[in-house]
Amino acid sequence: MLGNTVDADGRPSPRLAARLDRAYDCYAAARCRVLFVSGGVDPAGRDEAAVMRDYLIARGVPADRVVADSLGNDTWATAIHASAYMREHGYVSAIAITQYFHVPRTMLALRRHGVPEVGGASPRFVEARDLYSILRELPAIAWYAMRPL
C-alpha cells in the first residue's frame, strides 16, 4: 500500500485513511496475508509508513502482518522495496492499493520489478485535485514503461 500525506497532528490525511481502510478490508477478507505499507518521511519528520503501520495495528491487524517501508519516497522506490521483500519471503502476487488513477502505474512498476501477479484496489475517495493527478499519470506511465531498471 502506497503512502500519502500525514497531517500535522500525526494522523493519516483523509486520503491516506481511505487507503488504509481499503487495505484493512483486504486483510479482513483474507485477500491480503501481509500488508506492506510504504511511504517517505516528510521534512517535519512524520514517517508515513510508521503512521500507516500504527493505524492498521490499531484497527486490529497483527503487528507481524504489517511491514513498514519508510524509504518509499515515490512509487518506483516502493516497487523496488516491495518486490525485494516479496522475493525474500516467497510471495508471488500483490494487490497494489492506492488511488484509482494511480493503480495502473503502481501495477506497472511492480511488474517491471519482477512481481508476476499484480492486481489493484482503491478506496472510494475522490477529490477535485484528482483531475490534475489523472493528467499527471499519463506521462508518468509512459516514463515507467521505459525507465531503466
* Domains of the chain: residue spans and CATH: 14-146 (3.40.50.620)
Residue-wise pLDDT for 15-32, tens only, equals 999 999 999 999 999 999
Which residue is listed with cell 500507516?
Answer: 52
Q: Looking at residue 84, what is its pLDDT?
A: 99
Query: Kind of pairing, strands 66-69 and 93-97?
Result: unpaired
At 140, is the secondary structure helix, strand, or coil? helix
pLDDT band at 118 (very low <50, low <70, confident <90, very high): very high
pLDDT band at 74 (very low <50, low <70, confident <90, very high): very high
At 118, is the secondary structure helix, strand, or coil? strand
Cα three-residue angle 147-1-138, rounded to 5 degrees: 40
The Cβ-side half-sphere exposure at 145, using a 13 Å CA radius, reads 7
Q: Looking at residue 53, what is its pLDDT?
A: 99
Stated pTM of the model: 0.94
Average pLDDT of the segment spanning 64-83? 98
